[in-house]
Amino acid sequence: MSSAPDTADRIFSGIQPTGRKHLGNYIGAIRQYVEGQDRVAEGEAIYCIVDLHAITLDYEPTELRARVHDTIAILLAAGLDPERCVLFRQSDVREHTELCWLLSAVTAWGDLNRMHQWKAKRELLEDRRGAFVSAGLFNYPILQAADVLAYRATVVPVGDDQRQHIELMREIARRFNERFGPTLVEPAHRIPAQGARIMDLQDPSSKMSTTGSSDQGTVYVKRQCMHCHQAACASACPTEAMNKTLKGPVIWDGDKCIGCRFCMISCPFDIPKFEYNEWNPRLIKCTMCFERQKEGMKPACVQACPTDTLQFGIQVDNLEIARHRIYAHPDKYVHQIYGEHEAGGTGWLYLSAVPFDQLGFRTDLGRTPYPEYTREFLYAVPAILFGVPAFLLALNALADKGEPEEVTELGLHAGEGGHKP
């Protein structure tokens, strides 16, 4: 359950529609967006697809338009709800560029020239033959400041690499207010305690980036239903709409579902999601292609994977393969098979070159299956429902047994045998 909204805050953050979204985007931005919309009042979480920032580097217009749609789809799939937050494209609001020009009059050239990201991206571009370094890249922080200050946002969820930009943004707001009176709000950054800066795997001195990293240095994580051996969602479902099959997959039957959302609350991996814009929403989750399995086929993702990153088979065999890879390449993998023991074990297993908490995986789940935590209570429910009433009825019977008659008889005896005054 989420906590009560903090109505004092207004959140603003933007995400570029460039490149494929990777782990750094998820932990540093997307996950914070979803948490933010539940933390503030409805409509006070404002998120923007910053396509104007994307054109500061070489781009192809058709591809950029497609990337905008792709980024929106990713945000919605991650859990952003347009009924609770504001989600829009930057270029649709011309006030962003107008305010950028006004703020440039109170921004020092020296401040922009000291920006670490400007220096790093300029050096990266200058190392490429025939590269073009645009003035837009230099002025990037001013437009970023305009994005936030235009909405009087108080909080900006960002990764650690944006800390310097937020400080400049606050300085720009102070200068503007000193010259023209109190107008703009100085926002505070909100940087995650873990995963604030995800580094490139091939160049650990550089941040993972959609524009600067190589494919070899970027981590892509496939997230889906973990198909727990003892599924908490199936255990919590009062109508058996969530069902753990004998073959392993956890599947959902829409005909039995009453929409209680107990599966969402109980899942330790926060996987089940319902559609938000349908009167009779479906639950969206991986079924491990259960229908394909019944026909003797592999899950579609495994069959389509061009690099054999995904494997499918009997769990015991997969565990043996995973252990062999770890022992054969101890410098390549973290010495852990995620899913072997977490929450009692899952149908999906992961190997990784970086610690799993840095990938956004929960590492505090323990080994006990979640249904075990409620088993004793559920076993006690029938005893409580039937035992307590029976016990109370028995007490009532004992209390009532012969008591009124005995009192009456004593009274009669006293009247008959007593002394008259």
> For the segment 314-352, what is each residue's pLDDT rounded down to a tens digit?
888 888 888 888 888 888 888 999 999 999 999 999 998
Q: What is the pLDDT of residue 27?
A: 65
The answer on pLDDT for 63 being more than 50 is yes
| pLDDT tier, 193 (very low <50, low <70, confident <90, very high otherwise) | low
**Domain parsing of the chain, residue ranges:** 11-192, 232-359
The whole-number average pLDDT for the span 203-207 is 51
- Return the number of other C-beta atoms located less than 10 Å from residue 285's C-beta: 21
Coil, helix or strand for 278? coil
- β-bridge pairing 155-157 and 188-190: parallel
| CA distances from residue 238 to 174, 234, 271, 344 in whole angstroms, order as listed | 56, 9, 18, 22
Coil, helix or strand for 45? strand
Single-letter amino acid, residue 334: V
Phi, psi dihedrals of residue 207, rounded to the nearest 5°: -75, 145
The answer on pLDDT for 136 being more than 60 is yes
User: What CA–CA distance (Å, rounded) separates 75 from 377?
Assistant: 38
| pLDDT tier, 3 (very low <50, low <70, confident <90, very high otherwise) | very low
Top pLDDT among 277 and 358 is at 358
The proportion of the chain whose per-residue pLDDT surpasses 70, expressed as a percent, equals 77
The proportion of the chain whose per-residue pLDDT surpasses 90, expressed as a percent, equals 33
Mean of all residue pLDDT scores within the chain: 81
The answer on pLDDT for 211 being more than 60 is no
Q: What is the pLDDT of residue 218?
A: 63
| pLDDT tier, 421 (very low <50, low <70, confident <90, very high otherwise) | very low
The answer on pLDDT for 143 being more than 80 is yes
Angle between helices 135-149 and 95-104 (to 10 degrees): 110
Top pLDDT among 281 and 44 is at 44
Comparing 61-65, 201-205, 322-326, 327-331, the range with the smallest average pLDDT is: 201-205
Q: What is the pLDDT of residue 257?
A: 92
Q: Please check whether residue 95 is in contact with residue 150, taking contact to mean a CB–CB distance below 8 angstroms.
A: yes
User: Which of 27-31, 141-145, 256-260 has the highest mean predicted lDDT (pLDDT)?
Assistant: 141-145
User: Which of 24-33, 142-151, 363-372 has the highest mean predicted lDDT (pLDDT)?
Assistant: 142-151
Q: What is the pLDDT of residue 224?
A: 87
User: What CA–CA distance (Å, rounded) separates 81 from 34?
Assistant: 8
Q: Please check whether residue 67 is in contact with residue 31, taking contact to mean a CB–CB distance below 8 angstroms.
A: no
| CA distances from residue 96 to 90, 121, 145, 179, 205 in whole angstroms, order as listed | 7, 23, 9, 20, 33
Token pair in block for residue 322:
């995973």
Q: What is the pLDDT of residue 420?
A: 40
Q: What is the pLDDT of residue 179?
A: 94
The answer on pLDDT for 196 being more than 50 is no
User: What CA–CA distance (Å, rounded) separates 243 from 231?
Assistant: 9
The whole-number average pLDDT for the span 192-216 is 50
| CA distances from residue 128 to 94, 118, 214, 292 in whole angstroms, order as listed | 33, 16, 14, 47
CA dihedral sign, ordered 400, 405, 406, 410: positive
R_g of the chain computed on alpha carbons: 31
Q: What is the pLDDT of residue 379?
A: 54
The answer on pLDDT for 153 being more than 90 is yes
Q: What is the pLDDT of residue 391?
A: 66
The whole-number average pLDDT for the span 259-267 is 89
**Which letter does DSSP use for residue 79 in this model?**
T
Q: What is the pLDDT of residue 233?
A: 92
Q: What is the pLDDT of residue 86?
A: 94
Q: Where are the beta strands (DSSP E) in 267-388?
A: 273-274, 283-284
User: What CA–CA distance (Å, rounded) separates 403 from 115?
Assistant: 90
The answer on pLDDT for 213 being more than 80 is no
User: What CA–CA distance (Å, rounded) separates 352 from 359?
Assistant: 9
Q: What is the pLDDT of residue 129?
A: 61
User: Which of 69-73, 131-135, 149-153, 410-414 has the highest mean predicted lDDT (pLDDT)?
Assistant: 149-153
Angle between helices 116-126 and 163-180 (to 10 degrees): 120
- Return the number of other C-beta atoms located less than 10 Å from residue 301's C-beta: 15
The answer on pLDDT for 286 being more than 50 is yes
Domain covering 232-359 in this structure, CATH number: 3.30.70.20
Angle at 83 between CA 81 and CA 87, to 5 degrees: 65
**Which letter does DSSP use for residue 254 in this model?**
T
Domain 11-192 belongs to what topology?
A: Rossmann fold (3.40.50)
The answer on pLDDT for 199 being more than 50 is no
Long-range CB contact pairs, 311-317, < 8 A, 24+ = 315/248, 315/347, 315/349
Q: What is the pLDDT of residue 407?
A: 39
Top pLDDT among 46 and 358 is at 46
Residues 6+ positions from 60 with CB-CB distance below 8 Å: none
357-391 tens-digit pLDDT = 878 888 999 999 988 887 665 555 555 656 666 66
Token pair in block for residue 155:
């909080």
| pLDDT tier, 413 (very low <50, low <70, confident <90, very high otherwise) | very low
The answer on pLDDT for 156 being more than 80 is yes
